[in-house]
Structure 1
Amino acid sequence: GNTSWHIESVNPYLLRFLAELLPGESPAKGGMGTRVLVPLCGKTADMDFLARKGYRVVGIEGIKKAIDEFAAERSESGRPVPIALPPEINAEKFQASATLLKWDPPVHATGEEPPQPVILIHGDFFALGVPEAEALVP
């Protein structure tokens, strides 16, 4: 079902304040953009938007259904792909997956890169300690 706080489009405040939230140069090419943590992410369109801007997005969500729905709606494969976590993260408490976003390269564009995968972590955001958070977003 739908939740009262979920919006289908990118959060208007993110659009309005992106330059202030993530100041500086636009993200680097080749998958080396700034890493952005999206706690309690649900299936927000913000993650897709940020990945397409070149940011490396890490979302943390306690409800597996939201992760599965994000992948079903936005990924090439329709499902999240399991990946390994850094050793600082307790694999008994957290599971990670990557969502490879759908991408249709522009016909005449040169140098445009596909969006980076969105990394989604299933687990309790509030159970993350400082070392774990730093391992996810160094």
Structure 2
Amino acid sequence: MCAKRLRKGTKLNQVDLSDAKDRIIKIKTLEGMAQSTINQYNIAFNDLIKFFGNEKLIASIDLNNARDFVDWLLHEKSDEKSRFKQVAKKGVKPSSANNYLQKLRAAFNILIREGILDENVFSQIKNIKFQKKRLRF
């Protein structure tokens, strides 16, 4: 069996972000989730790891940490892959941040079901409201 096993004596709530990401991707793959959706979970966890660091324990993320992450997404995350460095803006659109929230809420709910977490801090954060642009003809 090639699955990672927890060492004897390791508590389930001592799972770091990298291990949580691997578990979620594996579960979603086994559920037959579309590859594009799995990629979105991957991106969301990669940004969590970028913000908190790889060794951050998933159970140690509290509501204020989650809010700080959403604030970082909206105002500070930069697109390093942009070919036009002078045009690369900071922050993602509110609709993209809402997509992150949707994926993280679902992922944290799975981690609760798996016995890794006791609560879903992302479920306490409401979607970001924004004005939809109207096309005028």
How does the TM-score come out when normalised to structure 2? Answer: 0.26
More strand by share: 1
More helix by share: 2
Structure whose CA Rg is larger: 2
How does the TM-score come out when normalised to structure 1? Answer: 0.26
